[in-house]
Amino acid sequence: MSALIVLLIYVAIFVGSFFLVKLAVQSATNDFTSLKTVTFGDESAVRPNRIASVVSIVSIFVLWGAFTGSSLLPGFLHAPGPFIGDATFTYTAEADGQAADDATVTVRVFEVGTDAEEPTVEAGDGWAKNDAATIGAWRSGLIRVDKNDEFGRKEGHRIVAVNGEAIAPGGAVETEFGRVGMSQKGTLNFVPNKGWQMEPIWLPAPEAVVSRIGSIAAEGYRGSTLWEHLGYSLFRVVVGFFFGALVGIPLGYAMGLSNWFRGWFDPIVEFMRPVPPLALIPLVIIWAGIGETGKIILLFLAALWIMAIAARSGVSGVAISKVHAAYSLGASKTQIMRHVIVPNSLPEIFTGARVAMGVCWGTVVAAELVAAEQGAGMMIMVASKFQNTDIVIMGIVLIGIIGFGIDILMRMAEKALVPWKGKI
């Protein structure tokens, strides 16, 4: 239910800010692209609207804060929270041979994690006595109101109405503070209003995630520091990718340069390429265990085929006239390899390396989810078992940042080493 509300608000922000920005911001530039009249269908004329990017990011955090009751947001932006405080309702009870009598139930709804005392209530008059109970927000609780009444279940105690509305076993009555249901055996079950906010065990507030990053960075998690966890994951990726590239690139070159290599390895590479590395995890664990060796073998295999295929297509991407020209200028095979084929295949190899790095990063997290002593994936896996959702979200955020960082680094390396890419 609240997911739908969030989605509707998000769509409303998307549409609303579009019209607002369109009204408020007039394009001041007159550069070539802004003067194009045909933009629908001309991909090169579509440029990211930076205002939209900012609004997009901000609204994600605002929605996150609003629906978790974040202290970073002013209160009026919060979605309605769960009911907290003393809730009351009355019930009407009957017993064999007794007239119906009313009594009040006072329920103290408290924030989970804080101490709550049962509210003190006066017993009141009549044979049905007033009751008190405590229930945590977002939880529910059974309330045996008959226990302190003068006539218990042995005497045929039964509740016939709540707040004056008739109730029967299996039925429910909505009150101002929440829903009062009745079990098949006739016990009342009180569910305080949950509001629209998410409970922290489902989605913690942003500041909780940030403070968790701080505390785990300071104290570590499960016997290793945060940097050890992330460092292990990165180490596995770098080593696995390194060996994958070390074997895959020469293999790809050989496949691009020799009939025998092409014929020999084509079936293997073409078969292994569509096998997702994740499907290899069980086999690798059987063969190499859950230690570092197994993970590095897995990442090696994840990177190997991608790099081999990238190098192969790098060779096939060499314009034949360049090779012909080099031969006509007297170059030997070794010189053509070093001065023509390798530099010409660098753009393809970099594209492959970026893909391989992304796949390796995804694979290492998945492998750590299955079994690991340290690592980003292990962190979120263990945290999820203890319902530490803040650690899970922290882990996902860090994994995302590192993956993004890897890609940025690869792009920078590509720009420095292959400046002619896309300009031929």
Partner 1 sequence: MSGLSIENLSMRFDLPNGSSVQALQDVSLQLAEGELLSVLGPSGCGKTTLLNIVAGFLAPTDGQLVLNGHRVSGPDAERGMVFQKGALFEWMSVRDNVSFGPRMAGKREAEWGEEVDHLLEIVGLQDFKEKAIYELSGGMQQRVALARCLANHPDVILMDEPLGALDALTREKMQSLVLKLWKETGKTIILITHSVEEALLLGERLLVMAPRPGRIHKEYRLPFADLGVGQDLREVKKHPEFAERREEILGMIWDMEEEIMGRSEESA
Residue where the block lists tokens 């993004």: 404
Q: Which is nearer to partner 1, 250 or 343 (CB)?
A: 343
- Shortest Å distance, C-beta 410 to partner 1: 19
Q: Which is nearer to partner 1, 44 or 321 (CB)?
A: 321
Q: What are phi and psi of 112, to 5 degrees?
A: -65, 135
Q: Is residue 416 part of the contact set for partner 1 (CB under 8 A)?
A: no
How many of the other CB atoms lie within 10 Å of CB of 59? 17
Rule CB under 8 A: which of 295-354 touch partner 1? 319, 321-322, 324-332, 335, 339-340, 343-344, 346
Closest by CA position to 237, among listed 381, 354, 351, 346: 354
Q: How far apart are CA 135 and CA 89, in angstroms?
A: 14
CB-based burial of residue 374 (10 Å sphere; 0-12 exposed, 13-18 middle, 19+ buried)? buried
Q: Which is nearer to partner 1, 28 or 320 (CB)?
A: 320
Closest by CA position to 172, among listed 180, 164, 161, 162: 180
Q: Which is nearer to partner 1, 274 or 330 (CB)?
A: 330
How many of the other CB atoms lie within 10 Å of CB of 35? 9
Q: Which is nearer to partner 1, 101 or 414 (CB)?
A: 414
C-alpha triplet 351, 352, 355: angle, nearest 5°: 90
- Shortest Å distance, C-beta 321 to partner 1: 4
How many of the other CB atoms lie within 10 Å of CB of 8? 10
- Shortest Å distance, C-beta 281 to partner 1: 39
- Shortest Å distance, C-beta 259 to partner 1: 17
Q: Which is nearer to partner 1, 144 or 322 (CB)?
A: 322
Q: Which stretch binds partner 1 (CB under 8 A): 68-76, 203-211, 225-233, 416-424?
A: 416-424
**Contact with partner 1 (CB under 8 A): which of 47, 50, 385, 423?**
423
How many of the other CB atoms lie within 10 Å of CB of 248? 28
Q: How far apart are CA 106 and CA 89, in angstroms?
A: 7
Longest dimension (CA), the chain: 116
- Shortest Å distance, C-beta 416 to partner 1: 13
Q: Which is nearer to partner 1, 41 or 330 (CB)?
A: 330
Q: DSSP readout, 103-136?
A: EEEEEEEE-TTS--PPPP----SSSSPPEEEEEE
- Shortest Å distance, C-beta 330 to partner 1: 3
Pattern 129-168, partner 1, x by CB under 8 A: ----------------------------------------
Q: Is residue 92 part of the contact set for partner 1 (CB under 8 A)?
A: no
Count interface residues toward partner 1 (CB under 8 A). 23
Q: What are phi and psi of 267, to 5 degrees?
A: -60, -40
CB-based burial of residue 211 (10 Å sphere; 0-12 exposed, 13-18 middle, 19+ buried)? middle
Q: DSSP readout, 157-214?
A: -EEEEETTEE--TT-EEE-SSEEEEE-TTS-EEEEE---SSPPTTTS--HHHHHHHHH
Rule CB under 8 A: which of 18-57 touch partner 1? none
Q: Which is nearer to partner 1, 153 or 322 (CB)?
A: 322
- Shortest Å distance, C-beta 251 to partner 1: 23
Q: Which is nearer to partner 1, 237 or 349 (CB)?
A: 349
Q: Which stretch binds partner 1 (CB under 8 A): 7-15, 242-250, 256-264, 414-422?
A: 414-422
Q: How far apart are CA 91 and CA 359, in angstroms?
A: 61
Query: Contact 95/211 with Cβ under 8 angstroms?
Result: no
Q: Is residue 420 part of the contact set for partner 1 (CB under 8 A)?
A: yes
- Shortest Å distance, C-beta 422 to partner 1: 9
Q: Which is nearer to partner 1, 195 or 314 (CB)?
A: 314
Q: Which stretch binds partner 1 (CB under 8 A): 42-50, 120-128, 382-390, 412-420?
A: 412-420
Query: Where does this chain bind partner 1 (CB under 8 A)?
Result: 319, 321-322, 324-332, 335, 339-340, 343-344, 346, 418-420, 423-424
